[in-house]
Amino acid sequence: MTKLALVALLLFAAPRLAAADSQADLAVAIGDKTSRTQQRIVEKLMTFKLGDACWKKLLARGNTGATLIAAAAHDIAQYAAVVTGDDWRAIENQTVNTRAKNRELAEGIVDAFAPAFHLTISVEGDDCEASGNGLWLKYLGSVTGALEAYPPKSGKAFVTIQVKAKAKGVKTEVDKAGTKFTITGARDVETSGWPASIDGPIKRVSVDPKK
């Protein structure tokens, strides 16, 4: 490999490595405040594609964005409990075994759920609103809450949330198998009644669509 090719490769890889480090930092911060289970969910079952300025805000001490992501991770754990019957946080906190063993058990069960679930969220641009006023965080909470309330009958959910500057409103697309959910939403302008655009499509492919 030539020096020029090596430099190009490093420049291409650097943003990805930085994003991975930022997500790892986010996961640890959430784990310190909540549970090792929620930390593992952020590490293994979620992907955040955010700009550098957005990450800086999200990781700032006292920022509410991380709290909202922790809540979304809790929703995912609750959804998994409905789908699999395993209560990950109860396993982590059970009074048998050692604390370390129980954490290991919970982490292993979270990892084993990866072939049936993943959520990716991307926010267009370098900056973002990393508080409860951020539409992207509202979308995240709406999606995880809808999955918990209306688990897909397929038993699988692979979710992509795309937050774009020029998008209008919210649109949810579901594949024929009822396993892939693509949500595209506006980044800066909130439209009235948008949660129904997420709840409705998920509900239609749920275990009990009439619920």
Query: 107-148 pLDDT, tens per residue?
Result: 999 999 999 999 999 999 999 999 999 999 999 999 999 999
Sheet holding 170-174, edge to edge: 46-49, 117-123, 157-164, 180-186, 170-174
Alpha carbons 30 and 50: distance in angstroms, whole number? 17
Query: From the CB of residue 57, how many other CB atoms can be counted at a distance below 10 Å?
Result: 17
Q: Are 172 and 194 in contact (CB under 8 A)?
A: no
Q: Is the pLDDT of residue 11 over 50?
A: no
Q: Are 38 and 103 in contact (CB under 8 A)?
A: no
Average pLDDT, the chain: 91
Q: Is the pTM of this model over 0.75?
A: yes
Q: In this structure, what token pair is assigned to residue 10?
A: 């490093």
Each residue's pLDDT tens digit, 176-200: 999 999 999 999 999 999 999 999 9
pLDDT tier, 13 (very low <50, low <70, confident <90, very high otherwise):
very low
Cα separation, 186 vs 189, whole angstroms: 6
Give me the pLDDT at residue 10, please: 36
